Amino acid sequence: MEYEKILPEIIQENDKKILLVVLDGIGGLPHPITGKTELETARIPNLDYFAKIGSCGLIIPVLPGITPGSGPGHIALFGYDPIEIQIGRGILECLGIGLEVKKGEIAIRGNFATIDENKIVTDRRAGRIPTEENEKIVNLISENIREIKGIKIKIKTVKEHRCAIILSGENLSIDVSENDPGKEGKPLKNFVPLSEKGKFTAEVLNEFEERVINLLKNVDTKAKCILLRGFSTYPEIKTFKEKYKLNACCIATYPMYKGISKLVGMDVIDCGETVEEEIMALQKVYNDYNFFFLHIKKTDSLGEDGNFEGKVKFIEEIDKKIELIKSMEFEAIAITGDHSTPSKLKGHSWHPVPFVLVSPNTIPDDVQRFTEKECSKGILGNMYSKNVMYLLLACSLKLGKFGA
């Protein structure tokens, strides 16, 4: 990223406080009947107030047309290039269930699958077994397979047929092929080393798989083996302290976002489940940090459910609570999302996300509403998510002059 070349010489520490509010998946698409998006439908006087007093724009999460997962979406908002810094799928799966990964460990995504007596994969998702059944099997495996060749194995339930696995010990490597044949009707593959370095890890995984298969042979479940993929190690990433000289904290309710925040060196603050509880947590730690990442999840979940009305209602709920922020002092506030999650598409999307920057050091534009269409007319225009952090740093006067 180009900023990296000049940041160390211009970054300046000060006490001014920055607040980054991420309304996960906030952007939407027009409702087929009303022609209005979720934000356009909702009554949001407080978000509109911020749009009125702030500088508005739309942010492109990764590149035009690219739909980001939560990883790239947040990595970009945190000021890293989301294509350069890719966090392994295994890591994200572990972070998502609050399983901490340390340097040197290998994090892996697992799918329980069904195989027949000839090890032909007959169902790559084991009939999407219930999460409770997954938990029982995971317990059985945990109790029986703790270590192989000196490598400690930790396995945890994610949900349905999914689990997460961490290997820890010496001489581990991610240079190993996956064992998923990719299609039903094909035989389970062996783990094959992709380089000399991966030889030992492949041996460990092949033994692990064999023992899992034996263990599940006589258990009453469709889960008869595990397909392992997304082998990943702790990413090389500079922390907020190192990169921005910021004391940063995260207020989030979901493990995934707490996990990504930890990766960039944020302290994760205890908070409850509701937006109100999150804002109370923000007030509580207000004096202890100068960067606050406040993550609100349910806008995304409701969008993924295709629940247009639910998303509208929840946006209105956020709006009520977010009023509390007005009375707190921040030198720079950004309110935006990591990506759009239109109810219409029942999933993340590529659409640019409404963005407002509130600061005494920015130019308020004519935008009156916090919506996709109105924000697109704002003074910031269309910009990339990965640039957001630098506007926040600039507005809080933490970036010195570049060049004489």
Is residue 348 within the footprint of a second copy (CB under 8 A)?
A: yes
Contact letters for a second copy, residues 306-345 (x by CB under 8 A)? --------------------------------------xx
Select 61 or 198, whichever has its Cβ closest to a second copy. 61
Looking at the DSSP assignment, which residues form a beta bridge with residue 294?
21, 251
Residues whose CB falls within 8 Å of the CB of residue 33, separated by 6 or more in sequence, listed in order: none
Amino acid residing at 335: I
The least CB distance from residue 350 to a second copy, in Å, is 5
Amino acid residing at 49: Y
Is residue 62 within the footprint of a second copy (CB under 8 A)?
A: yes
CB 326 within 8 A of CB 52: no
Contact letters for a second copy, residues 234-263 (x by CB under 8 A)? ------------------------------
Is residue 11 within the footprint of a second copy (CB under 8 A)?
A: no
Choosing from 54, 69, 198, 337, the residue that interacts with a second copy (CB under 8 A) is: 69
Burial string for 205-220 (b: 16+ CB within 10 Å, else e) reads bbebbeebeebbeeee
Looking at the DSSP assignment, which residues form a beta bridge with residue 112?
226
Is residue 65 within the footprint of a second copy (CB under 8 A)?
A: yes
Is residue 303 within the footprint of a second copy (CB under 8 A)?
A: no
Q: What is the DSSP letter of 81?
A: -
Q: Among residue numbers 92 through 131, which ones bind a second copy (CB under 8 A)? A: 92-93
Choosing from 87, 155, 188, 318, the residue that interacts with a second copy (CB under 8 A) is: 87
The least CB distance from residue 216 to a second copy, in Å, is 26
Sign of CA dihedral 189, 192, 194, 198: positive
Looking at the DSSP assignment, which residues form a beta bridge with residue 387?
none
- Quote the CA–CA distance of 65 and 262 in Å, as a whole number: 29
Applying CB under 8 A, the span of 69-77, 132-140, 181-189, 203-211 interacting with a second copy comes to 69-77
Is residue 394 within the footprint of a second copy (CB under 8 A)?
A: yes
Bridging pattern class, strands 106-115 and 381-384: unpaired
In whole angstroms, how large is the CA radius of gyration of the chain?
A: 23
Is residue 52 within the footprint of a second copy (CB under 8 A)?
A: no
- Quote the CA–CA distance of 151 and 170 in Å, as a whole number: 7
For the chain, the first-to-last Cα distance in angstroms comes to 22
Q: Among residue numbers 162 through 221, which ones bind a second copy (CB under 8 A)? A: none
**Residue 393 Cα distances to 20, 46, 272, angstroms:** 11, 24, 29
The least CB distance from residue 352 to a second copy, in Å, is 8
Report which of 298, 285, 283, 287 is spatially closest to residue 337, judged by C-alpha positions: 298
Contact letters for a second copy, residues 353-372 (x by CB under 8 A)? --------xxxxxx-----x
Q: What is the DSSP letter of 351?
A: -
The least CB distance from residue 295 to a second copy, in Å, is 16
Number of residues that bind a second copy (CB under 8 A): 66
Select 72 or 169, whichever has its Cβ closest to a second copy. 72
Is residue 25 within the footprint of a second copy (CB under 8 A)?
A: no
Report which of 150, 140, 207, 200 is spatially closest to residue 174, judged by C-alpha positions: 200
Q: Which residues bind a second copy (CB under 8 A)?
A: 2-3, 5-6, 10, 29-30, 35, 37, 58, 62-72, 82-83, 86-87, 89, 92-93, 230, 344-345, 347-352, 361-366, 372-373, 376-383, 387, 389-394, 399-404
